[in-house]
Amino acid sequence: MPVSTGELIQAFAVLADRQDVRVSVKQSAKGAIIAGTCCFIGGMLLGPPGLAIGGVAGGVTAYKMTQGTFRPVSDVIMNDLSDREKEALVNHVRNAVAEFEVTDLALLLPLLLSNVSIQQAVLKTVVTFVTNEMRMSIVD
């Protein structure tokens, strides 16, 4: 019995949650720009002490502005992927686990939950897909 794309996507989401993989939703660059700008302005106004004051003020401001913008990968793959992107992700994972000789995708789900090698292959594929196809940054 073949496993649907939706079931596989849910399994990938569970695996990503177990590993606590999160993505930055284009906020890291924004935070760096804010912190750098405040540091620059502080340095221009107050010299060397202004660099320190501006750096601290910019860091706190960037923290407040980007707080809560890091999302779990599971949320991204469950809610942000289009149907075509979900199919592409499933195909990428199928290719990644082909070396494990899983002939029926119904066998993949139990193996996914118990076999560390398959978990690593699937998780690596999901992370690569999110990074390359969706242009998101993974947060360690």
* Position 5, amino acid: T
- 1 and 30 co-located in one domain: no
At 47-91, the pLDDT tens digits run: 999 999 999 998 898 888 877 667 788 888 888 888 888 888 888
- How many Cα atoms occupy the beta-carbon half-sphere of 3 within 13 Å? 20
* Count of domains for the chain: 2
Domain that holds residue 62: 26-68
**21 near 73, Cβ under 8 Å?**
yes
Q: What is the pTM of this model?
A: 0.57
State the Cα–Cα distance between residues 137 and 130, nearest whole angstrom: 8
Q: Which residue has the higher pLDDT, 23 or 88?
A: 88
Do 13 and 31 belong to one domain? no
Q: Does one domain contain both 134 and 91?
A: yes
Residues 60, 115 share a domain: no
Among 68, 102, 127, the domain boundary falls at: 68
One domain for residues 15 and 81: yes
Task: Give the type of residue at 43.
Answer: G
Match 């990074």 to its residue by tokens.
131
